[in-house]
Amino acid sequence: MQTNVAGRLAAAIVAACLGAVAPLARADETCLSPYMAALIKGQEAYLHVWALGEKGIGDESDKLVTIDVDPKSKTYGKPIDKISVGGQGEAHHMGFTDDRKYLWAGRLDDSKIFIFDVGTDPAHPKLVRTIDDLPEKTGYVGPHTFYAIPGRMVIGALSNTTHDGVTGLAVYNNQGEFLSAHPIPAENGGDGYGYDIAINPKKNVMLTSSFTGWDNYMRDLGGLVQDAEAMQNFGNTMVLWNLKSMEPEKVLAVPGAPLEIRWSLKDGDDWAITATALTSKLWLVRRDAKGDWGAKEVGTIGDPAKIPLPVDISISADAKTLWVNTFMDGKTHLFDISDPEHPTQIYEKTTGKQVNMISQSWDGKRVYITSSLLANWDKKGADNEQVLRAYDWDGKDLNLKFEIDFFKEQLGRPHHMKFSAAADKASP
Amino acid sequence: MLAPSGAEESAGGFGYPAPGSYRLDHIFRAPQGIVLEGSRFPHLLSSYTKGAITLLSFFYTSCVDPQGCPLAWEAFEEVRAAAIARSDLRGRLRLVFLSLDPARDKPGTLAAFSRAYESGSDSARWHFLTTYSDFFLRPLLHNFGEEIALDRAASAAGAPVFNHLLKVFLIDHEGDVREIYSNQSLDVSAILGDIETLLMEAGMRKD
């Protein structure tokens, strides 16, 4: 009898819930953690840009710059806020906490991590905490990727305190307290390098990629490419991890520094794609006919002989297309990946003298591009333009809507970008 | 023993590791607070988060989020059924639902839910808690990292609708949160494996 009562009560609640709108996101604007809240499927209101400080530019400090990107706003296309964090520490990537209330931003040189409150007033973020214990707690340096899991942040580091690049993952809670470290395998096929993180929660799978150590990424690019021995010190692997145990399960050979990883967001898909910086290839990670995970080269980006250096990629929400930026030639490429085994380039445009990061809205109609790769890898002289460019994508062409010259505006070198919606003032 | 395999292993994912073969981080200490159960007599929340393994989630009775309350409810039902069926879990697992809506979810209202789950409560009692008011609720939400927002448009037609991120907290005997499940990871196989892992860690599991 009591079971029946329970069943009726439960059924009543379930019935009351039918037909409701889910406020949660399966994934974020095409490239963030699948645990992320508050997906922006409409017009983003603000673009947060993590910018590197530059000697002789403004206050010379690394800073978080917030741009108004709402076309209906009077300040559309203008910087409306900036927060300097002090010094030049090689500002690089950012990531939201799972509740999207806080934005973590890392520096590759001094390994500091800055936590900004972007939930209270996204037009005017506030710096609320600085984490400086990553090297002490883990032996890792260069916090690169910030990937939210419930209540925690998984941080993918690039190097170690000896600067040779054998590194790992660190887990912090959302309060900024260190929890655990997980070394990237350096034996049995592993090379120990780290870069990006991407999780497929339904498969209990985490995938990581590999770049290079502090000795290389902090070195002038011109000298680096002439140093044959140093050029050997790049990652040639990806690692599949058991997400629950945070233990590596399988090392995949992916030569040429595989960088950004994007899982298909399409329901039922279980493949991921990446681009290799040094070999200019697209690689697909998926199961074979026997059910074993593997990686295979599936496409070429530009002319690899010219080393176009593919950097950031951005997958569409329907997993049919992939944007790829190549840094050296300043081109933005669009690939049809509806058959991920056979990507085909369908569009190409020169979008700058040097281009690095690329972010698209959920509907794919807006595309944002920034110029800076690394302070010592950016081009020199007149080719060292430092800009944010915002485009509309009409399905055939990228149409420039606005651009901001970060040097002219005394803001530094623009790198990673994240979207925010307008503040929701509602509260319980 | 229910061996966790889950995670669509047959479809190519990695199965969950064997209980006790992995470590769960101490994510944070479950917060302090005052809650109500069955009457307006106050209880310390810690009396519901220590001394047993606890599975806790926020909910509200007029919930209209298909990705929220029903998912948590179904998972709690399955975990409870496993706890009743398994002698090694008897008396070592506690289930807690804590209301996001103290204005409507009064202790008397929630008592009906508690009574509905009295059967088997010696194996895994399911507590339905609320608070005096938002003043008492807000610090708990903040300290658990549970963000909620009133959806004014959806609420205009009747009962309030709170947009919230589904989070289910697994709390150890000492009151430390050791795992947090979302709608992307709320898998009963994983939960049971984690519970066994915590029991083994405490030297309390009977094989």
Window A:63-102, CB contacts with B under 8 Å = 98-99, 101
d(CA A352, CA A375): 17
CA B87 to chain A, closest CA, distance in angstroms equals 21
A266 touches chain B (CB under 8 A): no
CATH numbers and ranges of domains, chain A:
24-420 (2.130.10.10)
Q: What are the tens digits of pLDDT across the range A206-219?
A: 999 999 999 999 99
Interaxial angle between packed helices B107-116 and A2-17, expressed in degrees from 0 to 180 and rounded to the nearest 10: 120
Residue type for A418, please?
A: K
Asked if B149 and A14 come within 8 Å (Cβ–Cβ), the reply is no
Residue type for A48, please?
A: H
Looking at residue B159, its pLDDT comes to 79
B163 touches chain A (CB under 8 A): yes
Nearest to B63 by CA among B133, B127, B147, B159: B159
Asked if B67 and A22 come within 8 Å (Cβ–Cβ), the reply is yes
Which tokens in the block code for residue A141? 């340096």
Residues of B in contact with A427 (CB under 8 A): 149-150
Q: What are the tens digits of pLDDT across the range B125-134?
A: 999 999 999 9
Sheet of strand A237-242, all strands in order from the earlier edge strand to the far edge: A197-200, A205-208, A237-242, A247-253
**Least CB–CB distance from B116: residue in A9, A150, A204:** A9
Asked if B16 and A150 come within 8 Å (Cβ–Cβ), the reply is no
Q: How many CB atoms lie within 10 A of CB B182?
A: 23
Contacts of A342 (CB under 8 A, 6+ apart): A298, A299
Q: Which uninterrupted H or E stretch holds A52?
A: strand A46-52
B133 touches chain A (CB under 8 A): no
A206 touches chain B (CB under 8 A): no
Asked if A20 and B65 come within 8 Å (Cβ–Cβ), the reply is yes
Residues of A in contact with B73 (CB under 8 A): 10, 13-14
Written as tens digits, the pLDDT of chain A (428 aa) is: 333 334 435 443 443 333 233 333 333 377 888 888 778 888 999 999 999 999 999 999 999 999 999 999 999 999 999 999 999 999 999 999 999 999 999 999 999 999 999 999 999 999 999 999 999 999 999 999 999 999 999 999 999 999 999 999 999 999 999 999 999 999 999 999 999 999 999 889 999 999 999 999 999 999 999 999 999 999 999 999 999 999 999 999 999 999 999 999 888 888 999 999 999 999 999 988 888 899 999 999 999 999 999 999 999 999 999 999 999 999 999 999 999 999 999 999 999 999 999 999 999 999 999 999 999 999 999 999 999 999 999 999 999 999 999 999 999 999 999 999 987 643 43
Per-domain residue ranges for chain B? Answer: 20-201
B164 touches chain A (CB under 8 A): yes
d(CA A84, CA A51): 9
By the 8 A CB rule, do A25 and A100 touch?
no
List the single best residue of B71, B95, B148, B165 to mutate versus A (max A Cβ within 10 A). Answer: B165
- The sign one gets for the Cα dihedral A157, A161, A165, A169 is negative
Asked if A244 and B7 come within 8 Å (Cβ–Cβ), the reply is yes
Asked if A9 and B113 come within 8 Å (Cβ–Cβ), the reply is yes
Q: What is the CA radius of gyration of chain B?
A: 17
d(CA A312, CA A211): 13
Asked if A428 and B177 come within 8 Å (Cβ–Cβ), the reply is no
Residues of A in contact with B21 (CB under 8 A): 245
A291 touches chain B (CB under 8 A): yes
ipTM: 0.91
What are the C-alpha distances in Å from B162 to residues A120, A426, A428? 17, 10, 7
Looking at residue B2, its pLDDT comes to 33
- The sign one gets for the Cα dihedral B15, B16, B17, B18 is negative
Residue type for A324, please?
A: V
Asked if B152 and A426 come within 8 Å (Cβ–Cβ), the reply is yes
B121 touches chain A (CB under 8 A): no
Nearest residue in chain A measured CA to CA from B134: A428
Per CATH, the homologous superfamily of domain B20-201 is Glutaredoxin (3.40.30.10)
List the single best residue of A244, A252, A267, A290 to mutate versus B (max B Cβ within 10 A). Answer: A244
CB pairs under 8 A between A and B: 162
By the 8 A CB rule, do A39 and A79 touch?
no
What are the C-alpha distances in Å from A275 to residues A139, A198, A278, A282, A330? 28, 14, 9, 5, 16
